[in-house]
Structure 1
């Protein structure tokens, strides 16, 4: 399935920023089940291209001139194999790295108790059962969390978005030393355009990474475009950086994913 993707992100600052450094991960990964036919990232000025420790494509954009906005447009064509059941481990990153908790995925006692019935025996069926129970416990709810909300906080609120569902799921699995990683990217939905970047979890079982899209209850990457992987949101965020000045910022972001074959 070939997909045309257009991702526009605009940050507006209340005041002029004197200097900023932004790290931009908006380029899909080349994987056995995912072919990147064309892709471009348009930025305000020339940026440095490299890969981070997880193999994610990473632009570093440094601006030393005064500016009151940041505009990014990423677009291209990506083909995915819709028959893919799981993702093979590349072997480049030790999978045990993804058993280590981060501040965003820390597992609270209430999370541990909630997950316990599903993790007595680690099977694909039980993990899917946990994912199903989690969306019931935490219905998809916008505007109640932010990028810094921890798994513990969103679980106690019993609400959140894809990022929060993923962090809670990762926290529960890592508490049992089950390797689990955060994935960011794009989702194709035939009924509607997914208007923002998406996030889901993957768990390592028997040498393979299995998909757990809690928000949509999807368990194979048949509609997912991989952009970045990491331990949590901070490792895979589309845009992350620092600036001097600028004051309050507002964000406008839109993603359009359309099938073209």
Structure 2
């Protein structure tokens, strides 16, 4: 990630959640983090288990960025158990439903009622994912990081963050505990977001942007109730009428060695 300021800034305090960590479905090794301008980072683990790095740059600068490299061994077929946390039953500020999502929930409820008995226990979540996917048009630039699930679904346009928030909202309204995941998907591009639902003492991933179950091509960076618990980078600084331009690139490739 590279952030370019239109004028020098000072008193820059920042917080980063940009490093994948070892968890129930992945082992992460050989992590290297480079910060520009160079600074020693302070690290801690937040209440969701994400690695949080913070620091303060008092000196003037016009660029800020980080580069994270490493190796992740992902084993989606053997996800380890995690204790259940009741907070994932409840809506967050970005997932509170309104009229538009209320209509989606009723459509999903009808689909779930039609399933009958004997279906896979994950099928209700798959049905919700499919309903969200079918109702949305992937449209970059149509929303911001502040857009709520209701606002995005009213216009039926958004990006992966919006798909995830809408699915979270519908799942929670229908009694399915669900959490937001910020991470990486195999290939070249930006970071990605998807949903996990709690099933058989494990968190199972579903990607409403692509209408598919999460597999070994997905690397988790952070999880929480919604985007605000998983912001990869956030900061404040002092400056005079400063514009900002951000560039982000995520590259994930399978090692053949």
Fold conserved between structures, TM > 0.5:
yes
Task: Choose the corresponding residue for 1:79, options 69, 73, 91.
Answer: 73
In 2, the alpha carbon distance for the partners of 1:218 and 1:37 equals 27
Does the 8 Å contact 1:17/1:68 carry over to 2? yes
Q: 1:185 to 1:171 in 2, by over 3 A?
A: same
Give the deviation of 1:90 after TM superposition. 2.5
| Pairing partner for 2:13 from 21, 30, 33 | 21
Aligned match of 1:49 in 14, 33, 43? 43
How far did residue 82 of structure 1 move? 4.8
Tell me which of 140, 147, 150 is aligned to 2:148: 150
Q: Name the structure 1 match of 2:133.
A: 135
Where does residue 116 of structure 1 map in the other structure?
106
Structure 1 unmatched runs, 5+: 1-8
Equivalent residue pairs, number: 245
Q: Aligned partners of 1:159 and 1:194: how far apart in 2?
A: 23
How far apart, CA to CA, are the structure 2 residues paired with 1:209 and 1:236?
A: 17
Q: Say which is worse superposed, 175-184 or 230-239, in terms of deviation.
A: 175-184
Does structure 2 conserve the Cα–Cα contact (< 8 Å) formed by 1:26 and 1:41? no
Contact 2:25 2:74 in 1 (8 A): yes
Higher relative contact order (CA 8 A, sep 6+): 1
8 Å CA contact 1:211–1:218 kept in 2: the answer is: no
Could you give the per-residue CA deviations for residues 64-98 of structure 1, whole angstroms, max 9, x where no partner exists? 111111111001111112534xx44422xx52111
d(CA) in 2 for partners of 1:176, 1:240: 32
Query: Pairwise mapping of residues 1-261 of structure 1 onto structure 2 (< 5 A)?
Result: 9-43=1-35, 44-84=38-78, 87-91=79-83, 95-119=85-109, 121=112, 123-188=121-186, 193-245=187-239, 247-261=242-256
Structure 1 residues 205 and 112, CA, compared in 2 at 3 Å: closer, same or farther?
farther
> Hey, what does 1:6 align to over in structure 2?
none
Match of 1:5 in 2: none
1:177 is displaced (CA, Å) by 4.0
Give 2:117's aligned residue. Answer: none
Question: TM-score, normalised to structure 1's length?
Answer: 0.88
Deviations 1:47-70 (A, max 9, x none): 101111111011002111111111
- SS of equivalent residue, structure 2 residue 96: coil
> Deviations along 1:185-222, whole A, 9 cap, x unmatched?
1111xxxx231111101111342212111112221332
Whole-Å Cα distance in 1 between the matches of residues 103 and 81 of structure 2? Answer: 30
Alpha-carbon RMSD across the aligned residues, in angstroms, is 1.8
Match of 1:28, SS state, is: coil
Provide runs of 4+ in structure 1 moved above 3 Å: 119-123
132-141 or 168-177, larger mean C-alpha shift: 168-177
Secondary structure in 1 aligned to 2:147? coil
Q: Do the aligned partners of 1:82 and 1:223 also contact (CA within 8 Å) in 2?
A: no
